[in-house]
Amino acid sequence: MASKESLRVDRYWATVRQSAMNPQPDDLVTNTQWDLLTGEPRGVDYLEVDANGVPALWAVPHGTAEDGPVLLCFHGGGYVGGSMFTHRKMFAHLAKAIGARALVIDYTLVFQGGVFPQPVIEGLTAYRWLLDQGIPAGRIMFAGDSAGGQLSVTVQLRARNEALPLPAAAMLISPWTDLEVIGESMDYNEGNDALFSKQWIKDMAAAFLNGCDPRDPDASPLHADLTGPMHIQVGDQELLLDDSRMLAKHAEQAGIDVQLHEFPGQQHSFQMAAGLAPEADDAINRLAAWARPKLGLGAGE
């Protein structure tokens, strides 16, 4: 059974859904305040930077070295919402658990002209910026939730196409991978998912693709020639549950090192409740335990 603390995610996503579908001018909680879900991690400093034209935010846990590993983080929001500010605390919890710095970027959203492939290009720009800072690719790991999980894969593909060295691995939280919206969980989890409707997901996919083929391997991880290890986490109440299952199966068939963890009773991106809900903290710690050896960090570092 889900903890009472994690049920905050259910309640908040229901509020977001109402706000997005029928916004009111006097709404006190809106679709831009997802950070309310997350506990403030202690001992983390934040610094806004320009990553070669891409707005970004460093989350730097106290005690991390400037020559240590880095997480390149992509926020979720279906390409229509979210920001480096809504997700800074969740990624800071993850960075702190690993012992790394995190760079969270603000890519252009659909309503600002950020249709495919613009966010992918901006993600690659930020990655190239990190490499230009002298950070080895093997000391960089991608992380993202929802649409940011999709970017964590597609930015790697674009990096490979441009002959850049690839990051150590990717951590994917409830990744959005099925742009055709054909997963069976779109139907059998209807009524369980507190945030999404199938039509809403279809509309977001159409807006992001802007006429491009949903099977385009540069946009859709399910049809891509995948590269690099990945750790996938997903809640079993999500419409996007099969997005994770299908990606894991696709990766396994390609011989990719992949782990898939499904969390019972949990909603989309429930890790946003890090610092407040035990399920979120457990998920963050599992990601960290998987990531540390891949970034060259020992258990006690």
231 is catalytic: no
Q: Which of 206, 201, 252 is nearest to 226 (CA)?
A: 252
SS3 content of the chain, % helix, strand, coil (to 5): 40, 15, 45
Q: Can 6 be counted among the known catalytic residues? A: no
Confidence at residue 298, expressed as pLDDT on a 0 to 100 scale: 79
Cβ proximity of 81 and 35 under 8 Å:
no
CA 180 – CA 146 distance, rounded (Å): 15
Q: How does pLDDT run along the chain (301 residues), one tens digit per residue?
A: 789 889 888 888 887 777 666 656 655 555 667 888 999 999 999 999 999 999 999 999 999 998 999 999 999 999 998 999 999 999 999 999 999 999 999 999 999 999 999 999 999 999 999 999 999 999 999 999 999 999 999 999 999 999 999 999 999 999 999 999 999 999 999 999 999 999 999 999 999 999 999 999 999 999 999 999 999 999 999 999 999 999 999 999 999 999 999 999 999 999 999 999 999 999 999 999 999 999 999 765 5
Q: Which is catalytic among the residues 174, 231, 238, 269?
A: 238
Contact present, 204 and 178 (Cβ < 8 Å): no
Give the strand pairing for 44-51 and 54-61.
Answer: antiparallel
* Residues whose CB falls within 8 Å of the CB of residue 17, separated by 6 or more in sequence, listed in order: 194, 195, 196, 197
Domain borders along the chain are 7-20+34-294
Instruction: Identify the H or E element spanning 208.
Output: helix 198-209
Q: CATH classification of 7-20+34-294 is 3.30.559.10, yes or no? A: no
Out of 6, 83, 146, 152, pick the active-site residue.
Answer: 146
Q: Is 174 left (phi over 0), alpha (psi -120 to 50) or beta?
A: left
pLDDT value of residue 33: 78
- DSSP-derived secondary structure letter, 113: T
The yes-or-no answer on residue 250 being catalytic is no
Q: Among residues 75, 220, 268, 279, which one is catalytic?
A: 268
H or E stretch at 130: helix 118-132
Residue 80: how many CB atoms within 10 A of its CB? Answer: 18
